[in-house]
Amino acid sequence: MKQPSNARRTLRIVVVTTVPGDIADEAVLAAQARRNTALRIGLLESGYDIVASLPADIFLPERIAQIQPDMIIIDSESDARDVLEHIVIATRDEPRPIVLFTDDGTPSSMDAAIEAGVSAYIVAGLHAERVKPVLDVALMRFRREQKLLDELSDTRRQLADRKLIERAKGVLMARNKLTEEEAYQRLRSMAMNKKLRLAEVAQRILDVEDLLG
Amino acid sequence: MAHAFVAGSDRPEKAVIRAGFMPLTDCASLVMASVLGLDEKYGIKLELTRQHSWSGMRDRLLQGEIDVAHVLYGLLYGVENGIGGAATRMAVLMNLSRNGQSITLSRALARQGVTNLAQLAAAMRKGTRRYTFAHTFPTGNHAMFLYYWLAAGGIDPLRDAQVVTVPPSQMAVNLAAGHMDGFCAGEPWSTRTVLDGCGFTAATSQDIWPDHPGKALGALGAFVDANPHACRSLIAAVLEAGRWLDESSEHRDVAAEVLSSPAYVHGDRHAIAARLHGEYENGLGRRWLDPDPVRFFDEGEASFPYVSDAMWFMTQHRRWGLLRDDVDYAAIAARVNRVGLYREAAVLAGVPAPSSLMRRSVLMDGKVWDGSVPDTYISSFPIRRQAMVGA
């Protein structure tokens, strides 16, 4: 297949593996090991680079912070899903796609999972040639949603900033008998002198106002 | 309401209810409702499936692969408020248990003379190394109790310590290996570390909040709206199972036997039974009969889905920055906790239900929580995540 001209750098993929002995049920563990092998073969045959295969232990968050992968893949039945959830919440300002792999690949459950925030499902036994499109779609979808979320949070932040600035102006006007324009200029020069954002200066003024009553 | 809900127009919309549970002692009432056939008495059939992680349980609920779940109260409200994922309307049908979780510290700490919270805080203030504590889910009950306990001792859990999520089955091995200093989790995992000799019980969750809410019976809001009769039957069946569990120690022995099987908790029967009976051994030679052990019924008090209980978890989510903005705590809790449906089920099962939606609790630091002024309650904690500009 022809490579697109603007080929992006290789995806950095981390596969999280279950620590043997965690799960008492040997059948579950064996099924996970089988899925894991199939997945790795699928990834390698599709030309993906697995930067690390990490055990789902207490050091996982630190290792992921060091490696900064583009995508994390984990077995849907692993008890380490909750460790990953910790990472998802702790780094929710810089989210990355999480892909689950599973035996159960009914399309409805995949769609619902994706609605719920999982980026994609890889079904065990998926042929190698299918792994790549699934991951590509997952990544594309993730990036598009991030862009929307970023725009939304930018708008929210601007609104919140504006509210803070308005309130701080009110405080300055009342305390120092300033006009609105004078209060705004005062805020601006404080921000420039202290090399802070206008909203940060406003917050400080409001904090002081809170303290002094 | 003397008529039978089971027949006629009140017939359950769904004959089979698929329920997820985690292999923990406090799944007892849900499991026993099925084992004792109480589900069929109310015209439904419980289909239980064991889950391997809270995240997996949540996803299955969201995907509709399971209908109801034995789930961390805090987790449900995390999903309701969109913490770490898309917000989805959830429902609490009832409270499944009270009390019976623990904070375990490593034996290595005990050897250095740290056997209680004050000594732990003193050791941590010396600042010679980083301390690590584990819980079971970022928005869950164990995280909130662990943070509360540390903060009550003057330790800021997010600044003075490293906090990690660890599956309960890995707690003992990590404690023994010295990878962490302590953890908060449910049973039988706390007992297991005491029996293994790698940890000791530094506090029970009932020390932190006597009669605190535990696991909830949770579902999607949409599921309850579409299946009110089936949900009412389910609540009634689980209420009966809870009553049966609290009735006698013989019943709890039977439950321990059932739970110990590989199909459910898969653990040592005696380890499960001891704390089910309130028989505690802290691992440092202290033994006691706890007046507030895990309870499933408590004359209908333990199972009532108090609105103030639900609000408490949200106040703690806000306190630690998981919730980034104030929300209408009372309105959300009143919508999610299906008190009306619960009351109907209580009538059906002949169980008394408290008249108030709120209850008054005094926690370990002397603070009173009665659901009345959540904003003031949150800002009354000296240790909390401070609001940040633009955050």
A199 touches chain B (CB under 8 A): yes
**Cα B76 from Cα B69, distance rounded (Å):** 10
**SS3 state at B55:** helix
Low-confidence ranges of chain B (pLDDT < 50): 1-3, 388-391
**Cα B246 from Cα A27, distance rounded (Å):** 35
Instruction: Determine which of B59, B77, B83, B265 to mutate to test the interface with A (most A C-beta atoms within 10 Å).
Output: B59
Strand partners, B280: B288
Q: In this structure, is the dihedral angle defined by the CA atoms of residues B38, B39, B40 and B45, taken in order, positive or negative?
A: negative
Count of alpha carbons within 13 Å of A60, Cβ hemisphere only?
A: 30
Chain B hits for A116, Cβ within 8 Å: 58-59, 62-63, 85-86, 88
Strand partners, A99: A73, A120
| pLDDT for the residue A134 | 74
At B140, the amino acid letter reads: G
**Min distance A21 CA to chain B CA atoms (Å):** 9
- pLDDT tens across B62-108, in order? 888 999 999 999 999 999 999 988 899 999 999 999 999 999 999 99
Residue B388: phi and psi, rounded to 5, are: -115, 150
**SS3 state at B171:** helix
**Cα B331 from Cα B202, distance rounded (Å):** 36
- B389–A197 CB contact, under 8 Å: yes
Q: DSSP secondary-structure letter at A18?
A: P
B167 touches chain A (CB under 8 A): yes
Q: Which residue of A has its CA nearest to B386?
A: A207
- A82–B169 CB contact, under 8 Å: no
**Cα B266 from Cα A25, distance rounded (Å):** 9
**Min distance B259 CA to chain A CA atoms (Å):** 15
DSSP H or E segment with residue A183: helix A180-194
| pLDDT for the residue B36 | 97
Low-confidence ranges of chain A (pLDDT < 70): 1-10, 19-25, 103-130, 213
Chain A hits for B83, Cβ within 8 Å: 89
Complex ipTM, two decimals?
0.87
A211 touches chain B (CB under 8 A): no
**Cα A169 from Cα A186, distance rounded (Å):** 9
Q: What spatial distance separates the first Cα and last Cα of chain A, rounded to whole Å?
A: 69
Chain A hits for B180, Cβ within 8 Å: 58
Nearest CB neighbour to A113, from listed B52, B63, B173:
B63
Nearest CB neighbour to B390, from listed A24, A113, A161:
A161
Strand partners, B72: B215
Q: Which residue of B has its CA nearest to A76?
A: B56
**Cα B88 from Cα B218, distance rounded (Å):** 13
- Name which of B328, B323, B332 is nearest B384 in CA terms: B323
Q: How many CB atoms lie within 10 A of CB A90?
A: 16
Nearest CB neighbour to A82, from listed B62, B137, B262:
B137
- A109–B88 CB contact, under 8 Å: no
**Min distance A131 CA to chain B CA atoms (Å):** 22
A76 touches chain B (CB under 8 A): yes
CB A84 within 8 Å of CB A72: yes
Chain A hits for B147, Cβ within 8 Å: none
Asked if CATH classification 3.40.50.1820 holds for the domain at A12-126, the reply, yes or no, is no
At B193, the amino acid letter reads: T
Chain B hits for A24, Cβ within 8 Å: 169, 262, 266
**Cα B238 from Cα B30, distance rounded (Å):** 6
Domain with CATH 3.40.50.2300 in chain A: 12-126
Domain with CATH 1.10.10.10 in chain A: 154-212
CB A22 within 8 Å of CB B169: yes
Burial profile A178-201: b = 16 or more Cβ within 10 angstroms, e = fewer: eeeeebbebbeebbeeeeeebbbb
A162 touches chain B (CB under 8 A): no
Q: DSSP secondary-structure letter at A115?
A: H
| pLDDT for the residue B7 | 52
Residue A101: phi and psi, rounded to 5, are: -120, 150
B169 touches chain A (CB under 8 A): yes
DSSP H or E segment with residue B273: helix B269-276
**Cα B120 from Cα B71, distance rounded (Å):** 30
**Cα B196 from Cα B185, distance rounded (Å):** 16
Helices (H) and strands (E) in chain B, counts: 18, 14
- Name which of A29, A108, A80 is nearest B54 in CA terms: A80
Angle CA B178–B180–B185, to nearest 5: 125
**Min distance A45 CA to chain B CA atoms (Å):** 29
Residue B165: phi and psi, rounded to 5, are: -100, 130
CB A100 within 8 Å of CB A84: no
Chain A hits for B54, Cβ within 8 Å: 81-82, 85
B210 touches chain A (CB under 8 A): no
- A199–B85 CB contact, under 8 Å: no
| pLDDT for the residue B2 | 40
What is A154-212's CATH topology?
Answer: Arc Repressor Mutant, subunit A (1.10.10)
**Cα B276 from Cα B68, distance rounded (Å):** 24
- Ordered by where they begin, the domains of chain B are 8-98+213-280+290-379 (3.40.190.10), 102-208 (3.40.190.10)
**Cα B74 from Cα B80, distance rounded (Å):** 10
| pLDDT for the residue B389 | 36
